[in-house]
Structure 1
Amino acid sequence: MKTQWNLFIAFFRVGMLGFGGGPASIPLIQKEVVGKYKWMKDDDFGDLLALANTLPGPIATKMAGYIGYRVTGIGGMINAVFATVVPTIVLMIILLTTISSIKEFDWVQGMTAAVVPVVGMMLAVLTWQFINKAGKGLGWGRALVFGVVVFILLQFAGVHPAIIIAALLAAALLIRDKPGHNARQKEDDTE
């Protein structure tokens, strides 16, 4: 029962404080799941985030559902998704009824402007953690080349991110199934 309560509180906090949508929620989820409750390790969280980004739908609810299921099964999944969604529903109802009457006040605009750098910094920290993980996993040369190629494809060639993600997943599957790769992996694991 305590684990269910912890799941609810962790994802309720994410739902309440995830200002800026799904990407802004990711560092909060990581802090709760990896840092505070230690339900996952950083590598597992990175793998979950990569997988969740390949699937359609809101990232925070996908991650909450998986983490809840992993921690306590179906009940945990329902609990975590509920805790993630309820604050948004309640806040939307409250804000939609009041925001139109106060949105012109300077203090409201100031609060909104003050949150943007905080969310940006949280995303920057998360980005650095992923760059560091890529550098360690692929090697810094390959990680840099991948990063530059993906940046060019996204910014200059106009390729949709889903196409890039699907292509990289397919390439990873092909590389993993290559003859000799599994033998090298087994050698690395035994060392």
Structure 2
Amino acid sequence: MKTYFATFLFLLISASVFAQNIPFNQNPKYTSSVNPNYNSRINPEYTSDINPRYNTEINPKYNAKINPTFNSSINPKYLSKLNPTYNSKINPKYNNNLNPLYTFTDKKYLFNEASEAIGVLIYANSDVYLYYDMNNEWIGYFIRANTNYNLFSLDSEWTNKYLCSDLQNGYNLFESNGEWTGNHVK
């Protein structure tokens, strides 16, 4: 009986260590003000100011200043200080504080249309957020481009996806054509 109890206790502790505990105020399942399905001000389908289809200032397709293909100062292929491969300060392999399991800094979470968490963003510096899946696997990073963040793969290729501010402390994820993926960051 003691063995079963000890095993159960160990599993319970392990689950709590590796689980992502999303703060209530960041979870769109429980807080409608951060859910674009219930708050039209942060939904780009209802607010043209935050939709790159209607606002060319936030669309990399029409604004070369925020397009890493045309602006080398926001492209980690050409600027090593933005590239975690070449900058150990922003590489989670060399800096445990950037690992979602060990960090105590503020985390942002990427949610899908159903408001289920599908990713974690860890603040690396003022220009870089590291991107992890929910299994804490590092899968990419976001580089700041004015108010947007462009998504890069681990081999420093721009994925043609980018985050646009929702003007209320969150972001919406868009494809290169300006189509909202339905995903949002809180």
- The TM-score normalised by the length of structure 2 is 0.22
Structure (1 or 2) with the greater strand fraction = 2
Structure (1 or 2) with the greater helix fraction = 1
Between 1 and 2, higher relative CO (CA 8 Å, sep ≥ 6) is seen in: 1
Greater Rg by CA: 1
